[in-house]
Amino acid sequence: MKDHSMEISMSEAAPTQKPRTAPPETRRRQLIDATITAISKHGISGTTLTAVTREAGLSLGLVSFHFKNKETLFAETLKFLAQEHRELWVRELTRSDLAPAGKLGAIVDAQFHPRICNRKKLSVWFAFFGEATHRKAYRSTSSEIDMERQTVCTELCRDIIRDGAYTGVAPEGIAATLEGLFDGLWLNFLMYPNRFTREEAHRQVLSYLALVFPRHFG
């Protein structure tokens, strides 16, 4: 009988090696992707440069060439995730065919896009947030983008309130509530995979907006 466990063990021990030559940006991206995978498997404290290079199928020397040290690699990984997320919704804000409600909906869509809202990447976000030694890096990288998004949401809510003649609602409060929903639903999606889906989380946020702005999201 064929020993499948031996096949798995051998496969893990000898990851596929990447071609020897590639553009610097390709190598950097390979190492960042491997870091995301390694952190999602082992957490931050358990992720070593050796673990990253095994995931990438690259040598330790390439990490030193493209990144000064592990801290720099981690910082660049977090920066990549933040920029990837930001680009999804910023792109929609430039569309002339979208009204404020459509642009606010696009920001919600970006929060739960499969490329962003998946358990591998969310586990990395929360790993940085959860470890005290890396929380400062998390704040410095993500806080500016988070505040930018909240400011944009506030202005979009203000436009929607004006357009729909809504009363008794504050744009700042709605934007802050959205941020809380985004974070909470991300955590639920990560922690309780059998109970929360990406689609259900998306619907819950839109249901909240339908309560606040029934003439625009109802």
pLDDT surpassing 70 at residue 19: no
The model's pLDDT over 130-182, given as tens digits with 9 standing for 90+, comes to 776 667 767 777 788 889 999 999 999 999 999 999 999 999 999 999 999 99
Per-residue pLDDT band at 3 (split at 50, 70, 90): very low
Name the DSSP letter for residue 97: T
Residue type, 159: D
What is the reported pLDDT for 8?
Answer: 33
Exposure pattern of 148-183 as b/e (b: 16+ CB <10 Å)? ebeebbbebbbbbbeeeebeeeebeebbeebeebbe
Counting every residue written for the chain, the total comes to: 218
Per-residue pLDDT band at 22 (split at 50, 70, 90): low
Of the candidates 206, 71, 210, 82, the one whose C-alpha atom is nearest the C-alpha of residue 144 is 82
pLDDT surpassing 50 at residue 4: no
Q: Are 200 and 206 in contact (CB under 8 A)?
A: no
What is the reported pLDDT for 160?
Answer: 98
Q: What is the CB neighbour count within 10 angstroms for residue 61?
A: 9
The model's pLDDT over 56-76, given as tens digits with 9 standing for 90+, comes to 898 888 888 889 888 889 989
Long-range contacts of 77-82 (CB under 8 A, 24+ apart): 77/32, 77/35, 77/36, 77/39, 77/124, 78/124, 78/128, 78/137, 78/138, 78/141, 78/142, 79/141, 80/32, 81/36, 81/121, 81/124, 81/125, 82/141, 82/142, 82/145
Higher pLDDT, 134 or 90: 90
CA dist., res. 182 & res. 153, Å (int): 13
Higher pLDDT, 38 or 193: 38
pLDDT surpassing 90 at residue 83: yes
What is the reported pLDDT for 205?
Answer: 98
What is the reported pLDDT for 5?
Answer: 40
Q: Taking residues 78-86, report their average pLDDT.
A: 93
What is the reported pLDDT for 14?
Answer: 41
3-state class of 46 per DSSP? coil
Q: What is the mean pLDDT of the chain?
A: 87
What is the reported pLDDT for 18?
Answer: 52
Per-residue pLDDT band at 11 (split at 50, 70, 90): very low
